[in-house]
Amino acid sequence: MSMWAMMGREIAYRKVNFLLGMIGVVVAIGVLAGILTTSSMHDARSELIVARKEAVMTAARAALASDVRKAMHHLGYNAVVLPKEQVLGDWYAEDYAAKTMPEPWAKRLGDTTGLIDRYLPRLRRKVNWTENNWTILVAGIGEERILDTSVSDDTPLVEDIPQGECIVGHELAAALDVEQGQQIDILGRSYRVAHCRKELGTKDDITIWMSLADAQTLLGLEGQINEIAVVEHLSVWGKAAEVGRGVSEVLPECQLVQIESETETRAHARAEIAAEAEASLQEERARQAQLRTERTWLLAKLIPIGSVLCAVWIGLLTYSNVRERREEMGVLLAIGCPPVFMRRLLLAKAALLGAAGGVLGFAAGAGFALFLESGPAGLPPLDEISVAMSLLFAVVLGTLVSLFGSWLPVLAASATDPAIVLQEE
């Protein structure tokens, strides 16, 4: 009779003993499988929670950035670069800089990374309009440049004014009854009125805008500007000191003046909201990582404890089975059955018990955990490869624990002297 046939008859004859051993393996493996499955579901749930929070935060950030971009575009330039020797008291009083600087200096601002969103070179002067004996402001508008790092809308903040044309402020247009398309003379030069602006109630109402080249020629300041209007980058919006230091690195001959606006307050408020959302997300990540660490620590404790208890249980059952079968083993050894055959028979039975218990334990533990742990909507299914690897681990662990627990009793049984056993009987 083959070893496998004998093992089958042995299991069929002593069902209770085999089932008790399997129950020990099932309980041990089932507990571990349940904890592992629960841990995997918790990890998946944690990742889903964090992913959803990230999605919400990303959407909130996009909405905040869009709002600030719109505000930036609506309120326009929020800082001005002036020559360093310009006295700010005079600039505030006169609303223009008496000192000038070379026009090419403005192009250096293109080298500021993450500080300037866009810039506009200008030449503004208060002049006596001799044709009408009025004091007016002449504003020469250069080419607005939007930097590659810009996060604002691409729409220009100022309109392009062709050479030979001008835009007239509301007060001047009303006083002179000027309309679009007419020609007006300014300091002996003739310009076509592109259009007239609406009333603003500011100095813009007595301002005439023209191209920078026309203004430089008109004022006798070829190649010169007296200010560079800038829009600070969204990342440093309202941080005048930081932007000023960055500008001074490329334009050490200049100074930066912040123009206060409600956009600065709104930008800071939205930055605080974004920072709070990021802190909340990091806190959630830390909490989930802490829970994962605690579960790992629990598994590190339970696996050896459960394995030892299971091995002891199987060892006791095997020892009891061996003692009950001393007569049979004595007879088998006496008729020439080699001890190695006995060891193989008993260890094969233990291996089968452990493997079967591992499969049933994994199915029971994982199934019970899935039944109790109803995941939220959108929770991804368990990965098939992970499930297969966990099942393999359960089978291997159950088999090893069963073999370990049976090893000493099996060695003792195979070393039995048949003469002593039969003499006792």
| pLDDT value of position 335 | 61
353 closest CA partner among 399, 307, 320, 394 = 399
Residues in Cβ contact with 153 at an 8 Å cutoff, skipping those fewer than 6 apart: 69, 70, 73
pLDDT at 227 over 90: yes
Q: Stretch 159-186: mean pLDDT, rounded?
A: 92
Q: Kind and range of the H or E element at 403?
A: helix 384-414
CB 193 within 8 A of CB 168: yes
Checking if the pLDDT of 322 tops 60, the result is: yes
Asked whether residue 191 carries a pLDDT value surpassing 80, the answer given is yes
d(CA 272, CA 287): 22
Average of per-residue pLDDT values in the chain:
77
Interval 90-138: pLDDT, tens = 888 888 899 999 999 999 988 877 788 889 999 999 999 988 888 899 9
For 126-144, the DSSP string reads EEEETTTTEEEEEEEE---
What distances in angstroms separate CA 11 from CA 72, 102, 350, 369, one per listed residue? Answer: 83, 101, 11, 31
Q: Are 22 and 356 within 8 A, CB to CB? A: yes
The pLDDT score that the predictor gives to residue 207 is: 94
Of the listed ranges 191-200, 259-268, 303-312, the one predicted with least confidence = 259-268
User: How does pLDDT run across 233-248, given as a tens digit for each residue?
Assistant: 877 776 778 888 888 8
pLDDT higher than threshold 90 for residue 326 = no
Please state, for a pLDDT cut of 70, what percent of the chain lies above it: 71
- The pLDDT of residue 274 is 60
Residue 319 is predicted with a pLDDT of 66
pTM of the predicted structure, to 2 decimals: 0.52
Rounded Cα distance between 112 and 132, Å, is 44
Among 4-13, 39-48, 268-277, 363-372, the minimum mean pLDDT is found in 268-277
Q: 164-174: per-residue pLDDT in tens?
A: 999 999 999 99
User: Does 73 have pLDDT greater than 70?
Assistant: no
